[in-house]
Structure 1
């Protein structure tokens, strides 16, 4: 059994990408809305995230361009386009991998994303990993890089990040969101897994840690470990369990009220009630699993509107 050591509103929708398009769906899958169609050619909408006030950001990936030229668009809760920008990077590196995780602050004004930079000059190679933080509406500004803080998510304005592959850190409140000063939270050291993203409900009562097998030759799938918590950075409570997924499970998103959870696995995007936390190793859920989108990716729960009220 794996264990971690160490005012929200109802969420009516889940954003996700499918087939290169960007979608919104009700949590039961009965209502859907295409927020952005697949662009022409090989370009696709890939990563997406939703803020606690219903803003939606999505990254448009062009395979013919280097990663630091990939653009994003920010929409408001009703689907009105607010701004377009780029996930800018530092210059001077040979290759760039980003975004490794993508999230918005609760007010939708700050975007955080993970990065890896590489340079190889025989016989020496260099790599830098970290988190970029920037104003999503002032797209012309360069990001602030927090070196060593990986796989970021954000709760309010405070970043939660993976450190040294096995520790979770929480940004100190007086340094949020641009300061590189974190307090230790929990560790998965000794479990046989490395830590990637940790998603936390806006009410700070439920968290999900994304765990990848640490052995390079492992055939085990990645898993999602759900826990009740006593606040952001607080202790984990009894009843932690692994979500019942199929194949690799990743990109978990908890609703703002801590009652629903979405994730991605071999089925696509699925939504369910949070666990009962009754003590079983595999989670028993408060509401059954619903497949929202076969082949869907990067789900994010928030209050963006799926159905718009018609004008009279």
Structure 2
């Protein structure tokens, strides 16, 4: 195996073609430099330099070896730089899970920020509902998740990164569209498209708690996993549904939205990660995302709340 110190001595000497100047550039005296060159020649079994009077020049073997030796040093320096950057979280890969709601605005903004502040980190995206993200953490197929804060058996660190109001979605022309805001009691007996108690557990539990507190019993006609499917059924006139305000960005025609008048719960979005992960790139992305989300929340907060 080649000694990189000897290779470096050769490259500098071959570039300068003057052992005295080469030794000065290497912060050494000429005899040790000559010895390093001799040791390298002995290992290779060839003569790299020939001396003509007081000058030296490369042999044919020396000229051939110089090209490969220079590339070898460049690769060595690149490897050192890469591993240092990896240890600092400046390079690597991060697998990010996210819900449809996060994918509309938050995730694109974070990717743009990562492109600026962490340009050498490769971000791989997986669109998954919150429950599926918990399964992905168990299978170690994602490193960070943007999900609704649902209960999990595995230890996960959670940080709130966003929250939004809940709104009522109704078919265009519905009787409740005459009201600017909807009271929970107005939903009693209404045909209602409800979130699934399994895959839509977060919204199911919060909405059921809100309805139970008001002693309201809608007519649950369907239990659905995804917000866009709930909106499709609402548009078809099969009932009303409660969704996060971001669902309005889907721009479904023949669907109207109204805010809830009562002290309705807010829909929270959390960033999750495993506390035992030791990937510097994941840590760097998480800290970047936390800072960005905090600044974003302050920017979007109404002036009266500041």
TM, length-normalised to structure 1: 0.20
Larger radius of gyration: 2
TM, length-normalised to structure 2: 0.21
- Of Structure 1 and Structure 2, which has the larger fraction of its residues in strand? 1
- Of Structure 1 and Structure 2, which has the larger fraction of its residues in helix? 2
